[in-house]
Chain A
Amino acid sequence: MQRIETAMIEKAKALLSSGEVTRVLGWKKGELGYDVEPCVFKSEESLKDFCYNVFCGANLSKYLVEESKKEGKILVFLKPCDSYSFNQLIKEHRINKENVYTVGVECQGKVDPYKLKENGIEMVDSAVETVDTVTVKGKEFKKEEIILGKCLTCTKKPLSYDDIISFNEKREPVLDRFETVKKLEAMTADERYAFWKDQLSNCIRCNACRNVCPACTCTKCVFDNDNSGIASKANSDSFEEKLFHIIRAFHVAGRCTDCGECSRVCPQHIPLHLLNRKFISDIDRLYGEYQAGEDTDSKGPLTNYTTGDVDPSDVFGGNN
């Protein structure tokens, strides 16, 4: 899998030197192995810090909203899940495509550092990756054991790219993405209420989920805008914990590509993707299969209708 990184660096160098692109958006090594952060490389020598390994879970498409406004073209590497977010941002005119040169890169699942901690691996500096395994500090793990939640259920295919660097067939998803949603739906209302009250009470309103989410690109969020009527910086009551996450999930409903970034970055490990996946599973169940970001022109389910839609009173599927 090491070949991918070297191929990407060559590609970047070639395009930079040919002047076709002026900047490269990729990942940069941090002090620790898993401390990888998105970075814009402006010159070929700066590419020495460039890395693409099992820890590059971050979705780069949202940075392009600002970057594509600047002069000159920018090269960006998009994992399959990132490409869906990229398409969704193109559909919403947030990225102007001419300033962006996209390269699809192969991804066989990215590692969840917290799962490494659970397995007693600390202070990781590097990892050797093959299609199905990751060896860290001499210990070999199966991908299923330590990769991110969003990668376990990933069915994404690389989309809309000018070039692609991919050598192996993509791994099959291990889990059905709606499994936990179905488990929650099967619970009684009290159990569900308790589950979410417990989860959402941990929320410290750091807004990481909002800042990383490629669908959340408002210049001024309603929660920051005093004029909106629901402005609030902190959750000073259990109600506001629910209010923030319900409204955020509703605003991205029909536009969320299920890229899983919100759960990945949440410092409190709240399974926020379960909220968005509930909307996605409802939309698929009620209005037909819809994957946001699959194309750049279709009307989202919440800005579309059919005269025969189901009536709200019969929507409560499942029991209790």
Chain B
Amino acid sequence: MQEMNNEKRPLIVAFCCNWCSYAGADLAGSSRLSYPADVKIIRVPCSCRVNPMFILKAFQRGADGVIICGCHPGDCHYTTGNYYARRRMSLLFSMLDYLGIERERTRVEWVSAAEGAKFSAVMNDFASKVAALGENKRLEDLRCKE
């Protein structure tokens, strides 16, 4: 959590696929649709590139929420990429829930290149939910906290 004017700010890592959701984020930007600065975007070629290692590494390093954005199933630039991502993330996040990690810390969202408004709405909603949960205590690595 960043110490920003003394109220806790959540840190959110967003993996965005280059062809759709990253373009959606750009559209949200060009339409000046704001969302919290706590959301930091990492560009990946496709949502199927996101490895569970990256997600757990993000939580370990202090992220409070991780969201994976990809193209709508059927619209993937690589035809089948997001189908695999859909299965992997469903199983992974169901396992994290099984281990007692709060469900609202993880999320998958399909955003097309034309849905700037949706991207901004999703990020605002996700950021507020994660902030409501408070600091990530269950998947934290104390060595990474100051």
Interface of B is mostly: helix
B59, B100, B108, B143: which contacts A189 (Cβ < 8 A)? B100
A246 interface contact, C-beta 8 A: yes
Contact between A184 and B98, CB atoms less than 8 A apart:
yes
Contact between B90 and A230, CB atoms less than 8 A apart:
no
Residues 122-146 of B, flagged 1 when their CB comes within 8 A of A and 0 if not, give 0000000000000000111111000
B73 interface contact, C-beta 8 A: yes
A250 interface contact, C-beta 8 A: yes
Interface of A is mostly: helix
Restricting to B71-104, which residues have a CB under 8 Å from any CB of A? 73-74, 80, 83-84, 86-103
- Distance of A240 Cα from B95 Cα, bound (Å): 16
Determine the residue in chain A with the shortest Cβ distance to B137. Answer: A193
Q: How many residues of B contact A (CB 8 A)?
A: 38
Query: Across the interface, which residues of A come within 8 angstroms of B99, CB to CB?
Result: 192-193, 196, 242, 246
A192, A222, A240, A310: which contacts B98 (Cβ < 8 A)? A192
Contact between A189 and B97, CB atoms less than 8 A apart:
yes
Query: Could you list some 30 contacts between A and B, CB below 8 A?
Result: A189-B97, A189-B101, A192-B99, A192-B100, A193-B100, A193-B101, A196-B99, A196-B100, A197-B100, A229-B53, A230-B57, A236-B143, A239-B60, A239-B140, A242-B99, A246-B95, A249-B95, A250-B52, A275-B98, A278-B94, A279-B91, A282-B90, A282-B91, A303-B84, A305-B84, A305-B86, A307-B74, A309-B73, A309-B87, A316-B93
Contact between B139 and A250, CB atoms less than 8 A apart:
no
Query: Across the interface, which residues of B come within 8 angstroms of A243, CB to CB?
Result: 56, 60
